[in-house]
């Protein structure tokens, strides 16, 4: 379904592809780095999906009928993950986030984190997880070097959790959040996808969770992906959420954000934690995007909502030189568009289901 751009260029010769990348750079002398696009955005943040598998079946992420998973032989090995990461770090990436599927289902996760932390110039290794097995794994992950932890949780009600995720486990996730706080992850970031008529009645409850816990609740606008039956009527916008919170806390205050932050930070004064909003639909942040993604089967996606992909896995397995790999990456990055197509257009575009992209 997802035809690799690499296959096209590999078929007509790697030199031609390298030449094209060089021509793009020559025409734009300010765009020298392979990780800088034609709009001057330098990408220092790489998200790597480690697996397509997940031990949940969340309704907004995976189609009810499931998805066709790649054969194990087509997924990146641990060595390939580290090799790709090393290449990007050499070019300026200083933060890597491990995603899935669910990254904790990979048995070599601890080794991957340990080897990533050896890379000179890499400052942060983060992970997004559903939190189901953190009470068993987090101590080992922290010892391996895991710096930042995001835990996905869309409800504070156990019965609703089972409805949303089609699995049990809410209590284990809450214990995982508490363990992360005990181990010194401050803040623990909690990702909550908000959907109208689904869990938007819990927005205030999530904010209240920041009173005594140093958590960063990150409300995420519902986004369209293949198979998740996205409807604009289910979208709860950033402004709607803020207005709802201000009805209870009129002193709810915006905080200063970094230049590449995806989350707009807010806080209830005197509360221990804070709140953030990821506004991909109502107020996109494409102009400051510094993120690239590697799927579990080794494809480079320069935009979450784009459907053009380049297979780094195939390049590596065909013994592509490092220079040609960089040319491949550079040409892909320099095709990155100024911004995504808008939520109504995105909902009509072919793309992978979220679980096959990486959260």
Q: What share of the chain has pLDDT > 70, as a percent?
A: 79
Question: Which has more confidence, 107 or 306?
Answer: 107
Query: Residue 10 contacts by C-beta under 8 Å, 6 or more apart in sequence?
Result: 17, 314, 315, 318
Q: Which of 130, 129, 131, 110 is nearest to 176 (CA)?
A: 131
193 within 8 A of 220, measured Cβ to Cβ: yes
- Paired with 130 in beta bridges are none
Pairing of strands 263-267, 274-278: antiparallel
Tell me the CA end-to-end span of the chain in Å, nearest whole number. 20
Q: Which of 120, 52, 75, 17 is nearest to 314 (CA)?
A: 75
Task: Please name the residue ranges forming H helices in the chain.
Answer: 5-12, 14-27, 78-90, 109-116, 134-144, 158-165, 170-182, 203-208, 238-248, 312-317, 322-333, 343-346, 354-357
What is the average pLDDT score of the chain? 85
∠ CA(9), CA(85), CA(14), 5° rounding? 15
Q: Indicate the domain borders of the chain.
A: 5-357
- Paired with 190 in beta bridges are 151, 217
Average pLDDT of 169-194? Answer: 97
Q: Is pLDDT at 10 greater than 70 in this prediction?
A: no
288 within 8 A of 264, measured Cβ to Cβ: no
Q: Say if residue 187 is preceded by a cis peptide, omega within 30 of 0.
A: yes
- What pLDDT, in 10s, does the model give residues 84-129? 999 999 999 999 999 998 999 999 999 999 999 999 999 999 999 9
62 within 8 A of 102, measured Cβ to Cβ: no
Q: Where are the beta strands (DSSP E) in 21-121?
A: 45-49, 95-99
Q: Is pLDDT at 7 greater than 90 in this prediction?
A: no
Q: What is residue 173's three-state secondary structure?
A: helix
Q: How far is CA 316 from the centre of its chain?
A: 23
Q: How far is CA 21 from the centre of its chain?
A: 27
Query: Residue 54 contacts by C-beta under 8 Å, 6 or more apart in sequence?
Result: 61, 62, 100, 101, 102, 105, 130, 355
**Class of the domain covering 5-357:** alpha beta
- What pLDDT, in 10s, does the model give residues 121-169? 999 999 999 999 999 999 999 999 999 999 999 999 999 999 888 889 9
């Amino acid at each position: 379904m997802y035809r690799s751009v690499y296959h096209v260029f590999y078929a007509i010769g790697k030199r031609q592809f390298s030449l094209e990348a060089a021509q793009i750079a020559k025409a734009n002398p300010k765009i020298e780095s392979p990780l800088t696009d034609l709009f001057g955005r330098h990408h220092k943040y790489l998200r790597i999906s480690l697996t397509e598998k997940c031990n949940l079946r969340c309704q907004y992420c995976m189609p009810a009928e499931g998805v066709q998973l790649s054969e194990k032989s087509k997924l990146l090995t641990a060595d390939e993950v580290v090799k790709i990461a090393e290449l990007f770090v050499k070019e300026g990436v200083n933060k890597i986030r491990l995603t899935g599927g669910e990254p904790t289902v990979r048995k070599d996760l601890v080794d991957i984190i340990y080897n990533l932390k050896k890379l000179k110039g890499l400052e942060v290794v983060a992970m997004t997880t559903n939190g189901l097995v953190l009470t068993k794994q987090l101590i080992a992950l922290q010892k391996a070097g895991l710096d930042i932890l995001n835990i996905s949780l869309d409800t504070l009600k156990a019965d609703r959790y089972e409805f949303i995720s089609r699995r049990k486990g809410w209590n284990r996730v809450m214990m995982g959040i508490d363990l992360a706080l005990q181990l010194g992850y401050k803040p623990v970031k909690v990702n909550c996808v908000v959907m109208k008529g689904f869990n938007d009645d819990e927005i205030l409850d999530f904010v209240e969770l920041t009173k005594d816990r140093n958590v960063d609740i990150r409300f995420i606008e519902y986004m369209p992906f293949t198979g998740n039956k996205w409807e604009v009527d289910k979208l709860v916008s950033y402004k709607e959420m803020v207005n709802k919170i201000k009805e209870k806390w009129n002193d709810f205050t915006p905080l200063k954000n970094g230049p590449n932050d995806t989350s707009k930070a807010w806080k209830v004064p005197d509360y221990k934690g804070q709140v953030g909003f990821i506004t991909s639909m109502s107020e996109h942040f494409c102009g400051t995007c510094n993120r690239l993604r590697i799927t579990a089967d080794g494809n480079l996606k320069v935009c979450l909502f784009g459907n053009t992909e380049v297979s780094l896995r195939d390049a590596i397995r065909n013994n592509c030189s490092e220079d040609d790999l960089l040319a491949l990456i550079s040409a892909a990055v320099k095709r990155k568009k100024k911004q995504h197509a808008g939520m109504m257009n995105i909902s009509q575009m072919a793309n992978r289901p979220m679980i096959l992209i990486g959260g």
